[in-house]
Amino acid sequence: MKVFVTGGAGYVGSHCVRELCDAGHEVVVFDNLVNGGHKEAVDTRAKLVVGDLADTALLDTTLGGGFEAVMHFASHLNVGESVSEPLEYYRNNIVNSVSLLQLMHKHAIKKIVFSSTCATYGEPERCPITEDLPQDPINPYGRTKLAIEWALRDSAAAWGLGSTALRYFNASGASADATIGEDRTPEYHLVPLVLQVALGQRDVIKIFGEDYPTPDGSCVRDYIHVEDLADVHRIALETQPPAEFRYYNVGTGNGVSVKELIDMAREVTGHEIPAVPTERREGDPPELYADPTKIMTEFGWKPKYMDIKETVRTAWEWHRTHPEGYASE
C-alpha cells in the first residue's frame, strides 16, 4: 500500500513510518521539520517531502501521486500552549486537517488513520476510560482533536471515507535499538524532562500539583510505548473498512502517577533526579488512563511494553546515547 504520512519525521510519526516500511508498505513523509520533526528520524526506505500542510499547492501536488491511504500526525500538541495560544491550535490542527481531507477527497484517497487523544474526554467521570464515555474536552488541544474526529465521522457518511481515530494516552519510550526517539525543543513531555534532569541538562523536575484527588496527590497518566502505538497504527490501516469511522483508546490500562514515574526514572538511571512541587497547570485532569479492551478485542492486539520500567529504560537508552537528540549523530 502507498501511504502518505503527515508529521512522519516527528516522534510518534517516525516510529510508525519504520513500522510501515518493515511491513512492506511504500511510504512518503510530509513534514515541515519544526516542532520535533527531524529528517534524521525518517526511515531511509521512505521518501521525505519537506512541506507544511498550510501549503495547499504543494500538498495537492504531492497527494496526486497515487496514494491509497494517509496517516495524519501533523498537529500541535502542547496542552498548556493551547490554552495560551488557542487560535494557533485551531488554525493548525483544524484548518490544516480539513484542507488535507478536502484534497484526499479530490484525489480519491479513502483511508486515513488519525492521531487523536484521550484529551477529548476532558475530565472523565470515571477511570479507566472506555470509549462510551462523553467527550467533553477542557482545553483547546482536546477540542481541536475532537473537531477532526467529527469531520472524519461526517466524511464517512458524505463521501465514503474510511477512518480510524486512535485516542492514545501518553506516548513514551524509544525504539528498542535506541536509534530513534523523542527530540523536541522546547520539551514538555514528562519522561524526557525527567531524563534530562538525570543527564544534568536540567536542575530539577517540576511536579505540577500535589493536591489532586489521587493516591499520592500528583496526576495519574497512562504511558503507552511508542512502538506499541506504531504497531496499532499499522493494524488500523491494514484493517480499515470503507466508509466507516472507527475510534479506539490506545493505552496500557495502567495508571502511573507523576511521583511514581520519577521514582522509576531514578531506579532506571541511577541518578537522584531532584523534584520540586509547584502549582497546578491549567488544563490538567487529575487522572487519565485507558480501558483498552475494545482495541485489544477487535485488533487482537496487546501492548508489548506493559511495565513502565521497560518503557522508561528504552527512553533512557535513547537520551543517554543521544544527549543532544539527533544533533548528537
Catalytic site positions: 141
Beta strand extents in the chain (DSSP E only): 2-6, 26-31, 47-50, 69-72, 111-117, 162-168, 170-172, 205-208, 220-221, 223-225, 245-250, 256-257, 275-278, 287-288
- Picking from 233, 192, 319, 303, the residue whose alpha carbon sits closest to that of residue 13 is 233
* b/e map 122-158, b = 16+ CB within 10 Å: bebeebbbebebebebbbbbbbbbbbbbebbbebbee
The dihedral through the CA atoms of 143, 18, 155, 101 has a sign that is positive
122 and 136 Cβ atoms separated by less than 8 Å: yes
Q: Which amino acid is at 155?
A: S
> How many CB atoms within 10 Å of residue 88?
13
> How many CB atoms within 10 Å of residue 202?
16
Omega within 30 of 0 (cis) for the link into 186: yes
**Inter-CA distances, 219 with 22, 110, 122, 257, Å:** 36, 39, 14, 5
